[in-house]
Every structure is written in C-alpha cells, then in structure tokens.
C-alpha cells in the first residue's frame, strides 16, 4: 500500500520541554518560541505544564508562571497554527480545558495510559463541544501489544477524536516495534495516526521516520529535542530527514534550525544528551518524566539512580505514579 507523503508536525517544546526546564518557562520565552514556530509554519503548537493542564503541583513540580498566563502570552503570537494543550484526565479537568480555551487554545491532546483510553471519553467530548480539535494520546505504548493498542485507539475514535497519537513515553521502542504498533492502529481506525518519541536509546528520529513510513501522518518533535529524559525527536532534524525522504512538511526548515539555535538553546539548563539516567529510562522502560524525580530520590537516600530506575521498570510504574518514586527509593535503601 502506498503511504501518504504529507506530514503534519506537532511541536511540544513548550510542554514536554517544560520537564527539562523544571517548569520554569516565562511569558517572554513562550512568546518568542510560539511566534517563531508559527512563522515556520508549524500547525500545532503545544504548551502546558509538562504533565498537562493542572500538572503544577507538589507531585509533578510547580510551574514558575501559571500555565494560563503562559497560554495567553503564546496565543497572542499564533496567527496561523493552533495553540494546543495536553490534558491527563485525573490531573487536568474539563474546567481547566474551558479555561485553556478562553486563553486561546484550540486543540487538546487527551492523554491516558495505553490501556486506559476509556477515561478520555468525557474530555474528548467536552473538547468537541467547544469546537476544539481533540486528539487521543496513548502513553507508554511499549507496555501493550499492537492488538491491544488498536482496540484502545478504536475507543478514542468512537469518542470523537480527530486523530490518535501513540507515545513511546519511555523511549523504549525500536523501529520494528513502532512499525507494528502504527500499522495495527492504522488498520483498525479510519482517522489519522500520530507518533511521539523520546530519545532515551537514541532512536527518536529513526522511530519517527519508521512511523511515517507505515502511515503516521502526525509527528511530534521539539526544538533542540528539549524534553523529558534524553528529550524528544529534534524537530529541526526530523524536518530535514523527512524532506530528504520526499515527504511534504510545509515548514521552514532553516527557520526551525535558527529558532532552535538562537531562542531555545540559550534557555536550556544542560545539553539534551543521553546520559546514564536517560539511557536507563529507555533500557528499563520507565516514563521519561520520572528522571528528575529519580535523581532527587537518589540524592536523598544516597542511592545509585540506575538502581531506582531498574526497580521502577520491574514494577511497571506508569505516568502519574511519580509520588511512588520516593517510596521505591526508601524500600531499596531498607533492602526490601
């Protein structure tokens, strides 16, 4: 079957990148990034706390600036694309979504664990009632079979999702695993499929290309790869790769490069590299946003971070269980 050659980019620098910056984006920073992305032709520009609307908390880390203030600032700069938010049911609420809409958001990605799509029904319906683009976002897709993921995607389609996005939240998958999952979902639903990669095993661009090759038409990325763990697919890199491969992306490749170098790179707390902790996230299959929490727990209990990550992986911890990291570290310290 001939695959479509048009790719729509979703930039998550101001959402997934929030993890790497410890949720310290300012109004000036998001204004500059949003303006640049809009000028480069990126159609979906995501901004919220790293853990989505309502994520600013003791569990996930407090935002330096209220996310609705940031949404208003970014929204003023977006004239062509859609200001997009992430919402995890149980963390964010429909009231949060309504407030985000009032601040200019016109698309929402409703994120659930890969086997829990049913909890997205109300939020997707609420978004559609508001006239928003609504996306079903399945996290930690390495933890379920392609067949099970397809069933969960069908649920999100039935709720009214405009497309379904598969996330390799741990950066665990290899290209064949991505292809199997994307193909299974494509064959099961009539709406488009997207893919969100993490780079903990250095596979983000390869996995994103693999997803495109088997029919994913929405691809996530971040400027300079800024994101949780070792970061995400570097959007300026995958833009170049996909253009080399003959895909239409409708983005300004040079503009993305310049935006990454001149605006985002100076904000970064550290280079987005695959250090030991990030590598273990991918190897053990642990949610990427756990990393900074693991480092803090390791320091508190004088433990090797890799040991904590292996234990988290063996216990199959999922997104939303950040509060358990300290408990696991304490138990390791006690030899349990």
- Three-point CA angle 107, 286, 117, nearest 5°: 40
* DSSP 3-state of 295: helix
E-assigned strands of 145-276? 163-167, 193-196, 218-221
Task: Considering the candidates 19, 49, 113, 293, report the single residue annotated as catalytic.
Answer: 19
Upper half-sphere CA count for residue 141 (Cβ side, 13 Å): 33
Using CA atoms, how far apart are residues 273 and 33, in angstroms rounded to an integer? 21
Element (H, E) at 113: strand 107-113
Distant-in-sequence, close-in-space partners of 206: CB < 8 Å, separation ≥ 6: 175
Using CA atoms, how far apart are residues 232 and 46, in angstroms rounded to an integer? 14
Indicate the burial class of 84 (C-beta count within 10 angstroms; 0-12, 13-18, 19 or more). Answer: buried
Question: How many CB atoms are closer than 10 A to CB 330?
Answer: 14
> Are 174 and 262 contacting, i.e. CB atoms less than 8 angstroms apart?
no
Distant-in-sequence, close-in-space partners of 58: CB < 8 Å, separation ≥ 6: none
Using CA atoms, how far apart are residues 218 and 142, in angstroms rounded to an integer? 19
Q: Any idea what DSSP says for residue 57?
A: B
- 293 belongs to the catalytic site: no
> Are 312 and 280 contacting, i.e. CB atoms less than 8 angstroms apart?
no
Using CA atoms, how far apart are residues 209 and 186, in angstroms rounded to an integer? 16
Question: How many CB atoms are closer than 10 A to CB 331?
Answer: 12
Question: How many CB atoms are closer than 10 A to CB 276?
Answer: 11
Active-site residue set: 19
């Amino acid at each position: 079957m001939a695959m479509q050659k048009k790719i729509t980019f979703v930039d998550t620098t101001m959402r997934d990148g929030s993890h790497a910056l410890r949720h310290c984006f300012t109004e000036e920073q998001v204004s500059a990034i949003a303006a640049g992305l809009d000028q480069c032709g990126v159609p979906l520009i995501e901004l919220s706390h790293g853990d989505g609307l309502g994520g600013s908390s003791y569990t996930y880390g407090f935002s330096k600036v209220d996310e609705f203030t940031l949404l208003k600032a970014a929204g003023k700069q977006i004239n062509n694309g859609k200001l997009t938010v992430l919402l995890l049911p149980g963390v964010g609420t429909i009231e949060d979504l309504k407030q985000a809409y009032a601040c200019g958001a016109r698309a929402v990605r409703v994120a659930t664990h890969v086997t829990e799509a049913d909890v997205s029904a109300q939020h997707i319906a609420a978004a559609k009632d508001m006239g928003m683009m609504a996306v079903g976002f399945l996290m930690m897709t390495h933890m379920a079979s392609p067949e099970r993921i397809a069933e969960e995607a069908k649920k999100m389609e039935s709720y009214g999702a405009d497309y379904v996005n598969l996330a390799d939240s741990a950066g665990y998958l290899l290209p064949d695993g991505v292809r199997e999952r994307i193909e299974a979902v494509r064959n099961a639903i009539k709406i488009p499929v997207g893919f969100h990669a993490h780079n903990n095993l250095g596979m983000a661009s390869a996995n994103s290309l693999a997803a495109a090759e088997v029919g994913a038409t929405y691809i996530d990325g971040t400027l300079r790869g800024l994101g949780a763990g070792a970061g995400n697919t570097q959007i300026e890199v995958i833009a170049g790769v996909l253009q080399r491969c003959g895909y239409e992306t409708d983005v300004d490749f040079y503009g993305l490069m310049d935006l990454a170098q001149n605006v985002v790179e100076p904000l970064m707390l550290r280079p987005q590299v695959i250090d030991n902790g990030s590598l273990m996230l991918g190897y053990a299959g642990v949610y990427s946003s756990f990393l900074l929490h693991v480092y803090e727990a390791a320091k508190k209990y004088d433990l090797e971070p890799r040991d904590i990550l292996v234990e988290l992986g063996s216990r199959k911890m999922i997104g939303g269980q950040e509060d358990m990291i300290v408990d696991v570290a304490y138990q390791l310290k006690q030899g349990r």
